[in-house]
Structure 1
Amino acid sequence: MILVTGATGKVGGHVLTRLREAGHQVRALSRDPDRADLPADVEVIAGSPAQVDSSAAALAGVDAAFVCLVGDVETQARGFAEAVRRVGGVRRLVLLSSSAVLHPVRHRIGDEHRAAEELIGAVAPHATLLRPGPFHTNSLWWAKSIREQGRVRCLVGNNPGAPLDPDDLAAVVVAALTSAEHARQRYELTGPEVLTSAEQVRTIAEVTGRELDFEVAAPAEVVAMFASITGDRPAAVTNVAALHSAQVPWGRTTDTIQRLLGRQPRTFRDWAAENAHLFK
C-alpha cells in the first residue's frame, strides 16, 4: 500500500495515476473526500497532513508515502512528522520540497520548505527530498488574461527558469516510492531548457497563433497585492524579493530527470502545444 497526499493536485494527481497504472494499491489523504472524487479503487482517509490523528491513520500499514504540503507548509510538516513518529516510521518516504531552499536570498517560502525538510528528516532520515523549480503549469496563472485580454502581467519577474512538467516529476516520485535506491537522496529537478517568463509567453503565442503583450508588474505592486491577500506583509516582501532576484536557483538546468528516468524531460513548447486550448 502506498499513501499519496495531495492526490488531486498538479503533481499528486499524476502520481496517483502512475501508481494505479503500475498496479499498486493506493491510499489517499484528502481534506474533502467527496469533492476529491477519486477512483473507486483508491482508499481515502479524510484529513490533512497537519492533523496527526488522520495522518497516522493514513500511514498505518503503508510501505511508502508521498508527502506534498500546501498552504502552511511548516505546520503541515510538523503534524505529519509527528504522525510518522507515532506509527513507528515508514519504509520509504518521498517529500516534495522546493528548490527555494537553495535560494541565497532568505524568504518565507524557502524557510518553510527548509523547516519541512528538517522536520521530516528528523523522523525519516532515509527520506527522498525532491526540490523542483517552477512547473510548466504555472503558466496557467496567465490563462484567463491571455484568453480575455491577450496580455500577461507577470507577478514573478522575468528571470530565467527551467520549468518542469509535473508528470515528469511524478515519474520520479513513483521511482522513489517503489525503489530503495533513492533513499537519503536530494534531487534538484528542472526541465530541459532555460526560459524567461517573456519567452514562455512568446511560446504560448506561437502555439496558439495569437499576438500577446507582456509586461512585468513592479515589485512594490506585487508586495501590496500579496500582503492584501495573506495579511502578512513581511512574508510578501521577502518572497517577492526572492522571486525578482537575479540569483534564482532554478535559473539553470539539471540532468536529474535524464539520469533517473533515462530520457529527456518534456519541453515547455510540447506542453504548451498540447494545452493550447486552455489559452484560447
Structure 2
Amino acid sequence: MTQLSPDQVAGNWGAIASDYERAFENLSAQYAAHALRLLALRAGDRVLDVAAGTGTFSLQAARAGAEVLATDFAPGMVARLRERIAAEGLGGISAEVMDGQALALPDASFDVAASVLGLIFFPDLERGLGELRRVLRAGGRAAVVCWRDPASLPLMTLVRQAIQRVAPEFQPPSAPPVWARLAGAEVLKIRMEAAGFRRVEVVTSTAIQRIDAPEAYWAGFTRSAPPLAYLFSQLGPERTAAVGREYIEALRAQSKDGVPTLTVEACLGIGHA
C-alpha cells in the first residue's frame, strides 16, 4: 500500500482547520466566486462541494439560493463548516463527512458539483474526478480548481527562499508535493475529459492576497496545512522563527500601498455532464 503524505490524512486537516481558514480562505473565496459565475448558478440548483474544507464555495452557493451538500473526509473540517453555517443561520446547506473518492450518493443527483483546491490532494485523482462526474445529472456542470504553476506559487516560493537563507543545509522533501499532480491548464483539461466531462474549458483565475498583519499571518501560516506543519516541525522552533523573520521581510518587500500583496494564479476547469 502506498504511504500517504501528511496532506492525505484526515486527522491532520481537522487539527488545523481554523489556521487553514485564516491563511487560505481569502484566496479560495476568490476562486470560488469565479467558479460560481462561470457555472451560472441558479437559485434552487442542487450543489455538491467535494473536499469542501472550511466551506467557502458551499457558503457562497447557499447564500445565492442553492441547495448545498458540502463533503469532506476530515471530521474537523466538517465540524468547522457546521459552526459557520450555524453562525450565519443559513438554510439549504448541510455538511457531511465523506470520502470524495467514494461518495455515498446516488448517480445523477446534482445540478452542480465542484472542488476548489481540494480534489488535488486525493490519492486517486481519477476516482475523485470520476465521482464528481457520476453524481451530475444530464446537463449538469462541474468546476475544479487547481494551482496553475506549483513551482512559482508565491506563498511557497517565499518559504523556500527563506529556508535557503536561514538553513542552507536543510533538505526539504525532494519529491513534488501530491497537490502538484493536478496542476496547469493542459493537465486539468486532459484529466477532466478522461473522467467523462464534455466541453471542458480551463481559464486562469487570479486572486489577490493582501496581508495586513504579516506577523500574525506568519504565526498561523506555519500550521495552516499539514505539509507546512510537518516541514516546520522538522526545522524546529529556533530555525522556524528565523525563517519567519525572513519571510515577513520578503512579504513587506512586496507591499502595495503599504500592505504586502501577492498575486496568486489558479486554473479553473468547467466541464459538463
Higher relative contact order (CA 8 A, sep 6+): 2
Q: TM-score with structure 2 length normalisation?
A: 0.44
Choose between structure 1 and 2: higher strand proportion: 2
